[in-house]
Structure 1
Amino acid sequence: MNRIEFFKEMRDGLFRTVQSVYEPFLKEDLEKIERAADSALGIVWYPVVNRYGQRENLEMKFVAGQPVILVRQGSNIEAMSGVCPKCSNLITITSLYLTGKCLNCGKTFNFTSHEKGLQLETFPLRRKEETIFIGIKR
Structure 2
Amino acid sequence: MNRLQFLAELRKSLIDTTKGITFPVISEEIEKLDEVADHIVGIQWFPLKTMSPSSFLGAQDRFINNHSILFFSDGKSLKAYEKKCISCNCLAQWITYEKKLKCFSCDKTYDVQKDSGELTCERHSMKETNGEWFIGLKSQ
TM-score relative to the length of structure 2: 0.85
Percent of paired sites with the same residue: 25
- 1:18 maps to 18
- 1:116 maps to 117
**Segments of 4+ in structure 1 off by > 4 A?**
none
CA distance in 2, matches of 1:55, 1:69: 13
What is the RMSD of the two structures over their aligned residues, measured on CA atoms? 2.0
CA distance in 1, matches of 2:70, 2:82: 6
SS of residue matched to 2:119:
coil
- Say if 2:53 and 2:77, in contact at 8 Å, map to a contact too: no
TM-score relative to the length of structure 1: 0.86
- 1:63 maps to 64
Superposed CA deviations along residues 75-97 of structure 1, whole A, max 9, x for unmatched, are: 12222211012221221112332
Count of residues in Structure 1 that have an aligned counterpart in Structure 2: 138
Amino acid at match of 2:15: F
Amino acid at match of 1:41: V
Q: Deviation of residue 31 (structure 1)?
A: 1.6
- What residue ranges of structure 1 are gaps of 5+ in the alignment? none
- 1:90 maps to 91
Structure-2 change in CA distance of 1:107 and 1:31 (3 Å): same
Q: Aligned ranges for residues 27-66 of structure 1 at < 5 Å?
A: 27-48=27-48, 50-51=51-52, 54-66=55-67
